[in-house]
Structure 1
Amino acid sequence: MLETYIINLSSSLDRWQHIRGRLDDLKITYNRFEAVDGRSKAHPLFSRYNDKLRLKYRSGKLSGGELGCFASHYLLWKKCVELDKPLLILEDDIRITEQLKTAIQISEKYISRLGYIRLAGIEPSKGKLSSIKSLGEFEFLEHSQGPSGTQAYVISPTTAQILIDNATSWYLPVDVYMDRYWSHGVRCISLMPYPIELADFESNMLRSSLANKTIKIKLNRELTRLKEQIYRFVIRQKYIFKSHTSKIS
């Protein structure tokens, strides 16, 4: 079975007890990975944050919580490469359904071909979905626009290295970065219906605050957004929904 890592802050004991109890019930083995807490102190990886680039895409700086979340996932991508085997990565603010074990078995079979498989998403129906393969009660679907969130996913060492190589500058939350298939080439694929749902926990990750925007900043941001939409459309037409017939056997 896939090796599983749970991202958990040392201060979030209630979340840890909740998720470990559920995984124990399902007889799924797991490892705890101590999350980077960007709210309390800086981490060496935070030097990758690029405020100027951030300003082109969003208002306000990335918060300490967002940087900590990015760093936690980044470090697990590095572990995936070091171990040279696919990993199931879970955050601790989730609700696990009975279908997780089956989803893990399916993911284990297809991860070498797909590289990255989402098992959760905040907005699962966001953007156009292209069917890749039906598997009984489950189906592999490809997103034209990412469903947001990093609560649960399976990743291969090759894909982890791609995400590492393209994350030299941090200016977006990690889930937004991972969904940008048109910039790093990692296809955004979900196994649905999701076996993981968002639990009713108070968020540990404060979002960035909005900043005042000058007309110049607004115009630059709109131009950047338009360029991104065009590039995403071109990549989607060329590689995803037309030519690669993303079907898998």
Structure 2
Amino acid sequence: MLINGKIKSFVINLEASTERFEYAKEQLDRAGIPFERVPAFDGRTTASTSFPEYDEAKALSWFGRKLSGAELGCYFSHIDCVRRFLESDAVYGLSLEDDLELMPDAAQSLSSLLDYLEAGRAPGWHMVNLGRPVKRFGSEVARFSTGQQTRVLCRAHYFPDTTTAILWSREGAKQFLETADHIYMPIDHFLRRWNCHADAGYGFIDPPITTSGAESDILRATTGQDTSRARFYHLRKHRRLQLNKRNAKRNRKAFQERMPAGFQQRVPGE
């Protein structure tokens, strides 16, 4: 499948981060992946409580600490990408952050993934994390040979964190937007929690996209950003992690019981 046939790609970039944008553009142009630049929401100098979508009480009780305006800015930027995708006629949406680093076979891996999805082999999927490896609680479902190497696709029962590169289905994007007016944790943690419950996420053991390692401009620490922790923070964190892992284990067991024996595999090293 041609990558630009049914997919709409977006690069989140702050207005002042011109070097990061040019580096991302150079890579995507070379890979033949058309994209639209999305101005990042800069929340670094804004108080979190000024955003009506932010539920600080739940952030403290569930996530264990307050969110910064910078974290909310990152969240709003991804919401913007999803809205733009749904306003288009594209079948798939790809949200990218400007610190991406494409592997040499990224375009071919993406094309193979789209062929897999077009064939209906991942019914009910919501999103694929293309920028962070699946390290645990995953079920291998396919292997794509790209010439340079073999990319292993997994049902990511424990969805990888970070949002460098997220591929969306229209249904997944619609359901995500339904939650956008109630924010109580950073977006990558929310996507993990959501997918641990819905079991609708996929990812690669060795993903075709990674990060350049540059510090996020959107999330860069800013004076006055209040991210103070709740009492018993570590207990709250432990509760959250254990619930996610319990759901991931349950979903993996149910998924593998439905699959043919050849697909009942776990992520290596787990």
TM-score tier after normalising by the smaller chain length: 0.7 to 0.9
Deviation at 1:44, TM superposition (A): 11
1:59 aligns with 2:64: yes
Change (3 A) 1:214 1:27: closer
The RMSD of aligned alpha carbons is 2.9
1:101 aligns with 2:107: yes
Counterpart-to-counterpart distance in 2, 1:225 and 1:48: 24
Deviation at 1:210, TM superposition (A): 5.6
Counterpart-to-counterpart distance in 2, 1:213 and 1:27: 47
Which residue of 1 is the match for residue 95 of structure 2? 89
Deviation at 1:76, TM superposition (A): 1.4
**Which stretch of structure 1 is more off in the superposition, 6-15 or 228-237?**
228-237
Amino acid at match of 2:256: F
Amino acid at match of 2:43: G
Which residue of 2 is the match for residue 134 of structure 1? 143
CA deviations over 1:63-113 (Å, ceiling 9, x no partner): 111101111111211222221421121100121121111022123223454
Structure 1 length as normaliser, TM-score?
A: 0.83
Structure 2 length as normaliser, TM-score?
A: 0.77
Which residue of 1 is the match for residue 228 of structure 2? 211
Which residue of 1 is the match for residue 26 of structure 2? 21
Whether the 8 Å contact between 1:107 and 1:154 is mirrored in structure 2 is no
Deviation at 1:202, TM superposition (A): 2.1
Where do 5+ consecutive residues of structure 1 fail to align?
A: none
Aligned-pair identity (%) = 23
1:120 to 117, 126, 131: 131
Which residue of 2 is the match for residue 237 of structure 1? 253
**Corresponding residue SS for 2:258:** coil
Where do 5+ consecutive residues of structure 2 fail to align?
A: 264-270
Change (3 A) 1:212 1:42: closer
> In the comparison of the two structures, how many residue pairs are matched?
242
Counterpart-to-counterpart distance in 2, 1:45 and 1:243: 47
Deviation at 1:22, TM superposition (A): 1.6
Alignment of 1:167-206 (within 5 A): 167-180=180-193, 181-183=195-197, 185=198, 187-204=200-217, 205-206=219-220
**Corresponding residue SS for 1:48:** coil
Counterpart-to-counterpart distance in 2, 1:162 and 1:92: 25
Change (3 A) 1:228 1:30: closer
Whether the 8 Å contact between 2:47 and 2:68 is mirrored in structure 1 is no
Counterpart-to-counterpart distance in 1, 2:76 and 2:50: 6
Change (3 A) 1:219 1:105: closer
